[in-house]
Amino acid sequence: MPEIQAYQGKDFDVIVVGAGHAGVEAALAAARMGNKTLLMTINLDMVAFMPCNPSVGGPAKGIVVREIDALGGEMAKNIDKTYVQMRMLNTGKGPAVRALRAQADKHAYHAEMKHTLEKEPNLTLRQGIVDDLIVEDGVCKGVITNTGAHYSSKTVVIAAGTAARGKIIIGELMYSSGPNNSQPAMKLTKNLEKYGLELKRFKTGTPPRVDGNTINYDETLEQPGDKEPNHFSYETPDENYLELKNQLSCWLTYTNETTHKIIRANLDRAPMFTGVIEGVGPRYCPSIEDKIVRFADKSRHQLFLEPEGRNTDEWYVQGLSTSMPEEVQQKILHSIKGLENAELMRPGYAIEYDVVSPYQLRPTLETKIVKNLYTAGQTNGTSGYEEAAGQGIMAGINAGLRALGKEPYVMKRSEGYIGVMIDDLVTKGTNEPYRLLTSRAEYRLILRHDNADLRLTPKGHELGLISDDRYNNFLAKRKTIEDEIERLNTVRVKPSAEVNAYVESHNEKPLKDGVLAAEFLRRPRVTYKDLLRFIPAPEKPLDRRVIEEIEIRIKYAGYIKKAEENVAKMKKMEAKKIPDDIDFDAIDGLATEAHQKLDKIRPETIAQATRISGVNPADIAILSVYIERGRIAKIH
């Protein structure tokens, strides 16, 4: 075969490798900030492709989508245009954990995102495989593709996903492949290793898809969407909401003892257990064979049948992720109620891929070893479209800021789930594909889905990712909320017969004297809407999102205040910077483990150091004393 001829392609400011959920956000952010941006993808027909669940959002993840929206990202808008079902989860619980989830039309989601990229003025979308980087003196200066193109740039973002030396496993069958039988990137991560980055192998998997015409829905339980309008983007108007009759339902069914018997009888053919799969899989999304083995006493497991889109009859069997042989997969399917006659369309599979151990990253997602090189998404050991997109936008912003010669942006743990995720990754690393859970956030009452815009829109505007128009609307919304809260703290509710009839019908104590409207609203069963029956209405009727915010702030004020006090404490520790050039060897008295971990992770603040496992309070005390002394020494 003749050798590939190298040629010099165009110069860019930012190059993004991979157009999955991380890559598209990274490229859009960089381009929208004014950088000439190249987005490389192995297959243009797989831009923003959903190789697993056809859904976006859920607990913690849904909040990330809104954070991306507040920073001017695309995921929220894209799903708002292409969902087939919308559902608010956890409505019976408190405000901090309510979570929006949408079922996506997989094809429409991809097509819409691709078109958005095409329309973006500063952005070049190109098909091709990036084989190597251009690195000079530890600084990344561009990429080299399999077609011989050399593209130079100021910064590079790698979001290679499971394509990075991907390997698909189905029973005894095993072959190199990216997601859904796409071409894998066999050279890129190998070359990253060459530049000094340490890699790991992770594993994930996906369930089989079946033909919807062969499902007996009567045997399953319908899971419809919501009637009440809700969208991910703060900009999508309620009138765009799909009527319930135009939404598609999901269907609930269960595995049973027969299913489990089939799986147990075939464990000798399960790559998960025969030692074929070496990559570490996620505990929170185990394969069905893993569930049966680890939770042997459970007689059934839930399965959700989810539509993959409007113009297809392909259905996704959520909960049945597996790498069992195709023959066994069919037996498993046919043992399940409603799927007795289901025709398999695509078998489930496990996929192994390369991951860059995330302790090698700065909180900006720039690698510590290669300057101007950023990584995002599954490449950093996460799983999930939302986690990928959240890192993608941050990597794109920071790669863009660097290209513009500006200071980086790091989101604090107290500012967003994206901040929590990145801090977890770079501080603790991860031994399995990392998924965001609300329990990972210590300030989840502050990181709500309703206030992501209040938390992050100003930053998005400052970065040039939020238009002036949108920003002005945001400022007006914020002012309305504040004004109304102030008004409710001056207007009084009088103990009229009408009021007391109302409170008694709601199992609340009757009023004896007049109370402030805000105080009245603090009663658990009193809503803002009801409150307006007893006090004058505001000048203009309020938007439902404004009302939601007002209710939360008033009803949970006590808890919010406590959380904010904790945030303030944490910020003090965040302010204690650890010098970049600190020599941990010079510090006497650090425990060996702490010394090793600190040297490996090189935390940037004392707060970050406290979160490293194996670094105990004594080490923090010693480290603080040492830094304090260094500071004093410099002053004198």
Partner 1 sequence: MTTTSEFDTIAAVATPPGEGGISIIRVSGDHAFEAVMPLFKGKALDKVKSHTINYGHIIDPETQSEVDEVMVSVMRAPKTYTREDVLEINCHGGLVATNEILQLVISQGARLAEPGEFTKRAFLNGRIDLSQAEAVMDLIRAKTDRSMKVALNQLDGNLSRLIKNLRQDILEVLAQVEVNIDYPEYDDVETMTTKLLLEKAKEVKASIQQLLKTAKQGKVLRDGLATAIVGRPNVGKSSLLNELLHEDKAIVTDVAGTTRDVIEEYVNVGGVPLKLVDTAGIHRTDDKVEKIGVERSKKAIAAADLVVLVLNASEPLTDEDRQLLADTADEKRIIILNKTDLPLKLEMSELKQLAGDTKIIKASMTQNQGVDQLEGEISHLFFDEGIETGRGNVMVTNARHIGLLNQASSALDDVMSGIAAGMPVDLVQIDMTRCWNKLGEITGDSYQDELLDQLFSQFCVGK
We find the least distance from the C-beta atom of residue 252 to partner 1, in angstroms, to be 8
| DSSP assignment string, 132-199 | EEEEETTEEEEEEETTSEEEE-SEEEE--GGGBT-EEEETTEEEE--GGGPPPB-SHHHHHHHTT--E
In 358-512, which ranges are continuous DSSP H helix?
Answer: 385-403, 417-428, 452-462, 468-488, 497-505
Taking the complex as a whole, the smallest distance from the CB of residue 593 to partner 1 amounts, in Å, to 11
Decide: is 169 part of the binding site for partner 1 (CB under 8 A).
no
- The answer to whether 568 contacts partner 1 (rule: CB under 8 A) is no
User: Residues 39-78 vs partner 1: string with x where CB under 8 A?
Assistant: -------------------xxx------------------
Q: Which residue in 497, 537, 586, 635 binds partner 1 (CB under 8 A)?
A: 586
Nearest distance from C-beta of residue 627 to partner 1, angstroms: 12
Q: 406: how many CB neighbours lie within 10 A of its CB?
A: 13
Applying CB under 8 A, what is the total number of residues that bind partner 1? 54
283 marked as binding residue? yes
Beta bridge mates, 169: 174, 350
Which single residue is written with the structure tokens 């404490």? 569
The residue (of 497 and 586) whose beta carbon lies closer to partner 1 is: 586
Comparing CB distances to partner 1, the nearer of 354 and 549 is: 549
What is the distance between the alpha carbons of residues 23 and 143, in angstroms, rounded to a whole number?
A: 15
Binding window for partner 1 (CB under 8 A); candidates: 41-49, 155-163, 293-301, 477-485: 293-301
Q: Is 505 in the site for partner 1 (CB under 8 A)?
A: no
Q: Residue 445 is which amino acid? A: L
* 596 touching partner 1, by CB under 8 A: no
CA distance linking residue 106 with residue 79, whole number of Å: 10
- For residue 273, give the nearest of 189, 169, 358, 393 by alpha carbon: 169
Is 412 one of the binding residues for partner 1 (CB under 8 A)? no
* Smallest separation (angstroms) from partner 1 to the CB of 86: 15
293 is an annotated ligand-binding site residue: yes
* Cα angle 428, 429, 430; round to 5: 115
Query: Which one of 7-15, 291-299, 332-340, 468-476 is the stretch in contact with partner 1 (CB under 8 A)?
Result: 291-299
Ligand-binding annotation for 288, yes or no, is yes
Binding site annotation covers 476? Answer: no
Q: Which of 587, 593, 596, 627 binds partner 1 (CB under 8 A)?
A: 587
Q: Decide: is 295 part of the binding site for partner 1 (CB under 8 A).
A: yes
List, edge to edge, every strand of the sheet that includes 314-318.
221-223, 250-254, 302-307, 314-318, 209-211, 344-346
Which residue, 496 or 613, has its beta carbon nearer to partner 1?
Answer: 613
The nearer residue to partner 1, 17 or 445, going by C-beta atoms, is 445
Helix or strand run (H / E) with residue 38: strand 37-41
519-545 core/surface letters (b: 16 or more CB in 10 A; e: else): ebbbbeebebeebeebbeeeeeebeeb
Residues 6+ apart with CB under 8 A from 199: 189, 192, 193, 354, 355, 356, 357
**Which span sits near partner 1 by CB under 8 A: 133-141, 259-267, 363-371, 558-566?**
558-566
Which residues contact partner 1 by CB under 8 A? Answer: 58-60, 89-90, 92-94, 96-97, 99, 223, 283-286, 291, 294-295, 298, 301-302, 304, 318-319, 321, 437-440, 442, 445, 524-525, 556, 559, 562-563, 586-591, 613, 616-619, 621-622, 625-626, 629
